[in-house]
Structure formats: structure tokens, C-alpha cells
Amino acid sequence: MYIKDLSQLEGQEITLKGWVANSRESKGLVFLILRDGTGMCQCIVDLNKVGDEMFENARRLGSESSLSLSGNVVKDERQIGGFEVHVSSLEVYQYTENYPIAKKEHGVDFLMDHRHLWLRSQRQWAIMRIRNEISFAIHRFFQEREFVQMDAPLFTGNACEGTTNLFETEFYGEQAYLSQSGQLYGEAMAMALGRIYTFGPTFRAEKSKTRRHLSEFWMIEPEMAFYDLFDNMDLIEEFLRFITQEIVSRCEKELAIIGRDVEMLKKVSAPFPRLTYDEAVRIIKGEQDVDGKNAIKTLEGDLARVHARIEEVKKEIADREQRITTPGMKKGEIAFNQKKIDELKGELRDLEEDSRNIPQWLESARSFEYGNDFGGSDETVLTRMFEVPIMVYNWPHAVKAFYLKRDPENEAFARGVDVLAPEGYGEIVGGGERETDLEKVKNKIIEHELPMHEFEWYLDLRRYGSVTHSGFGLGLERMVAWICKLPHVRETIPFPRMYGRLFP
Ligand code: 4AD
Ligand code: MG
């Protein structure tokens, strides 16, 4: 029996096994908030019902003590989950004292050091469930369309996404790398099975701390024979829409727990704008408007508003701080003001962050050099103009991977596509149409100074029955971060591996 099923067990005597998330005592009653992995509910232990000994045991239960209890399920809409349990008996497995994660706020380093315990908190619980639903939706999407799931190797002999962030390792005395992407193997499988997808871990040594980079992340890489860039973009759009709409409908409770505004996610049902790199650059530099809005002017307006609001908030904090020192002020009023002050200070922190960021975005937008890849700031400036993900395609070939097809209409461009998520998230998908011409791939391998002999097997795909094909890669953690609107990818995976973080 699980807490998630309580609504079907009203009036029945049931047994639950779980942990104490919280407890308090009042006049012969102990109120336990029990969690069992599926949900939380209040369980009431009444001295008059269970007797002295069991009541004493219940009183001793600190946070995260483990127990089993039996009782009657009673409907109470005011309680978490809408049902509570009136306990008739309980059996304690372990009394826990001094659980390290208390209710008071902890710094993020402390929480990351205690990730093995932090995962038990309600917010992390909700994120992990959403991650699970996203994974499941991804498999459903591809399986329903009869793509074949494949597992690409993790030890590889050749680089796929450039050589700067490879994790080197050794393979029986030979130099090897941890895979950055399963794509090249996916291409081989697509020539054998038509349409495939990988779903596996990938590794990139990103020697800097950012909110979007992990050293170990999970990537989903479909690869389709006979798809060109535009078929690929159609599939990406259908795919991202499917996942977001599935999460909106299946994770209502979890999204509410983390306070995610689902209206933003519902907007993903609208078509995704498709921009060429050239158009995207003009928008970033303020040379082209989007629905009458100019990116540079919008940022300048936002900055002015941020500065004005900072002054207002500072003044209100000072006023309220003054007020609570007034002699004779009632306790309740002080508490009310203190709460307001805390909220305002939180808002001030966010505003001050904006006031630091916006000038940087403006600077990077104004000085953007045509031909460069987009940095995080450029993506932010661009995506702030849209409410749905956008697809930027036809990139300067020099800034993209060796395997992308040259645009037949203009050889300066490669038929790559990046999908940039709104709300400041930026790139969540990278993909494109693959070069099919043997000589052109070879030239690219030389240009990128990659060792030709290690790619001979890959070149065979262009020697024997080469066909138009395309694919893309979705970073699972970036998707989870955006769907949940998290400030950092570290909370999207149970045990993140990133620069400076190998434990727990
Ligand atoms: O754009 P990327 O590098 O593309 C590829 O790897 C292609 N082989 C994919 C393909 O066409 N089959 O990476 C794809 C996605 C990015 O858009 C991003 O979502 C994610 O992988 N990603 C990372 N996520 C977390 N941490 C990192 N260090 C990431 N690097 C890429
Ligand atoms: Mg990319």
C-alpha cells in the first residue's frame, strides 16, 4: 500500500511504510508527515487511541526516522494529498536524531555535499519524478513511431564533437576516450535499421562552472535515413511538443510542488519559429525586429525598469525596517513586516543579478561578430524575444562539427540546427543533416585535424550506399532544467558530475 493510492482507500484500515518528513506534537496528539517515496500524508497518533507506550514511541520520532504504521484513511481536503491516516498502531524501524538537513535554509554547497540525503526533500523528489516522466515520454515518442533504440559504445577511439573537451582514458594500453556523443555509431545503425535513437550517457570535460554544463550528461540522439534538414526540424518540433505536453498532463502535482508556471509550457503547442543564422544574428544585433520588438531596445527598457524597481524595493525595505523598531509594535505585525522584508530582499537579489547581467548581454549583442557561434549571452538575447523554442539553422560551417552537410545553395553554410529554449535556457538540441559526399567528409576531417585512420569505418558509410540522412541530440538535463525552470542543471540528475564535483 502506498500513499499515492490513499484516495482509493478512504475508510479502510491500511498499513504504510516510510519515513518521517516532519512531526509536531499538541495536546495528546502527534502529527507525523509520512513520506513513502510515492507521496506524503499526515498521520495522527492519538494518545487515547494507541496508549502510553506507542504514543511515547511516536513522540521520539525525529526527522527521517523509519517506521511502519497502520490506521484508518480519512478524507481531509486541508491536508497534503487530501487524505490523512488516523493511526491505530506503529512499529519503529529506526529512530533518527540530528538529521543533517534541517528545515532552515542551507547553502547549495552543503546540499550538494549531502546530495544522497537531499534527494529525499519534496522538491528534489518532484524533479526526479519529472525526469523519469520525460525519459518515459521520449521512449514512447520514438517507440510509437517505430524507431529502434540502440546503445552506442562509451569507450571510443575517435572524437565526435571536437577534441577540446575529451575525457581521455586507456583501453588495454591503447588511448581511448569517453564518448561525447553516440551520433557516429547512430549513423551506422541508421544505415542498417532506417530510424534509430540512442539514449545514453555522454562525457565532456567542461573545465568551467556554468549553470548549463555537466561533465556526464544523458543524451538522446535519433538518426534517420532519408531525412533532410527540414524533415529533421519537423521531427524535432513534434518531439519537443510531445514531451512538454505529456509532462503538463502527467506531472501536474510535481510541477505544482516546484512552483512551475505551466502556462509557459502550454505555449509550446504553437509552431516554433525557424530562423536562419543570418536572421538570428540580425535580431541579436537589433537590426531586425520580431513582431515590432527590437532586441536591443527591449533590453535597454528592461534595464531601466530594473534600476527603477531596485530603488523602490530598497526604499520599502528601509521603511519596513524602520517600522518594526517602533516601540510597542505587536508581535504579529513585526512578524508580518519581517516576512515582507525577507521577500523584498529576495526580489532585490534577483533584480541586482539582472542589473549585472543585462549590461553584459547588451555588450555581447552589440559587439557580436558575424560568423561566430552563439555564446550563452547571445542565446539569451535572442530567446528573450520568443515564448516558444526557436530553431536556428544554416550555420557558418567553420563553427560547426565536421560531419554536417554543406548547404548546396551556399557552401559557406552547414545544414546544422540548434534549438534554443525560451525563458533564458538556450540550446537544448543540436543537430543537422549529415554530409554524404566522401570527399567532402574527408576534407572536413583534415580541416579539423582529426586522425583520418580512426574515421575509416565512418567513411565506409559514404562508400557503400550513401544516402541523405539527419539526426539530432537532446541533452536530457537541459530539457529537465527548462521544463522545471531550474536555475542550474545540477538539480536535474541524481548525482551530478561536473567540474569540481565527483562526490557523493
Ligand atoms: O550540440 P551537441 O554538442 O551535439 C551533438 O553532440 C550531436 N552529436 C548531436 C546529434 O546531432 N546527434 O550536443 C547536443 C546537446 C546540446 O544541445 C545540449 O542540450 C546537450 O547535448 N549538451 C550538454 N548538456 C549538459 N552538459 C554539457 N556539457 C552538454 N553539452 C551538450
Ligand atoms: Mg551544440
DSSP 279-348: HHHHHHTTSS-BTTB-HHHHHHHHHHHHHHHHHHHHHHHHHHHHHHTSTT--HHHHHHHHHHHHHHHHHH
C-beta atoms surrounding 497 within 10 Å: 15
Question: Which residues make beta-bridge pairs with 219?
Answer: 200, 475
Measured N-to-C along each axis, helices 456-463 and 183-193 cross at an angle, to the nearest 10 degrees, of 30
Ligand of minimum distance to the alpha carbon of 219: 1
Residue pair 483/254 in contact (Cβ under 8 Å)? The answer is no
The pLDDT value given to residue 385: 94
Of all protein residues, the one whose alpha carbon is nearest to atom 27 of ligand 1 is 213
Helix ranges (DSSP H) in 67-220: 108-113, 115-118, 122-144, 183-193
Cα-to-centroid distance, 153 and ligand 2 (Å) = 20
- Residue 104 contacts by C-beta under 8 Å, 6 or more apart in sequence? none
Cα-to-centroid distance, 473 and ligand 1 (Å) = 6
Ligand of minimum distance to the alpha carbon of 186: 1
The closest-lying atom of ligand 1 relative to the alpha carbon of residue 427 is 17
Amino acid residing at 82: G
Of all protein residues, the one whose alpha carbon is nearest to atom 22 of ligand 1 is 475
pLDDT digits (tens, 9 = 90+) for 409-420: 999 999 999 999
Cα-to-centroid distance, 498 and ligand 1 (Å) = 15
- The upper half-sphere exposure of residue 40, i.e. CA atoms within 13 Å in the direction of its Cβ, equals 19
Of all protein residues, the one whose alpha carbon is nearest to atom 30 of ligand 1 is 213
The closest-lying atom of ligand 1 relative to the alpha carbon of residue 222 is 12
The separation between the first and the last C-alpha atoms of the chain, rounded to the nearest angstrom, is: 31
- For the chain, the farthest-separated pair of C-alpha atoms sits apart, in whole angstroms, at 88
Place of cell 534517420: 224
Cα-to-centroid distance, 127 and ligand 1 (Å) = 21
Cα-to-centroid distance, 475 and ligand 1 (Å) = 6
Cα-to-centroid distance, 374 and ligand 2 (Å) = 10
The closest-lying atom of ligand 1 relative to the alpha carbon of residue 160 is 8
CATH number of 116-270+387-491: 3.30.930.10
Amino acid residing at 110: F
Cα-to-centroid distance, 179 and ligand 1 (Å) = 12
For the entire predicted model, the pTM comes to 0.94
Ligand 1 site, CB within 6 A: 160-161, 181, 183, 204, 206, 213-214, 217, 219, 221, 427-431, 471-473, 475, 477-478
The pLDDT value given to residue 103: 73
Cα-to-centroid distance, 272 and ligand 2 (Å) = 18
Ligand of minimum distance to the alpha carbon of 475: 1
265 vs 16, 31, 56, 244, 310, CA distance in Å? 35, 37, 48, 6, 29
* pLDDT < 50 regions, the chain: none
Of all protein residues, the one whose alpha carbon is nearest to atom 23 of ligand 1 is 475
Name the DSSP class of 413. E
Which of 131, 179, 199, 217 has most ligand 1 atoms within 8 Å of CB, for mutation?
217
Q: Single out the residue of 434, 407, 408, 429 nearest to residue 418, CA to CA.
A: 429
Instruction: Give me the chain's average pLDDT, please.
Output: 96
Cα-to-centroid distance, 475 and ligand 2 (Å) = 10
Ligand of minimum distance to the alpha carbon of 432: 1
Of all protein residues, the one whose alpha carbon is nearest to atom 29 of ligand 1 is 213
pLDDT digits (tens, 9 = 90+) for 12-32: 999 999 999 999 999 999 999
Place of cell 501536474: 252
Residue pair 485/261 in contact (Cβ under 8 Å)? The answer is yes
Ligand of minimum distance to the alpha carbon of 164: 1
The pLDDT value given to residue 329: 87
Q: Which CATH class is domain 3-94?
A: mainly beta
The closest-lying atom of ligand 1 relative to the alpha carbon of residue 221 is 12
Q: Single out the residue of 35, 4, 1, 32 nearest to residue 15, CA to CA.
A: 1
The pLDDT value given to residue 105: 80
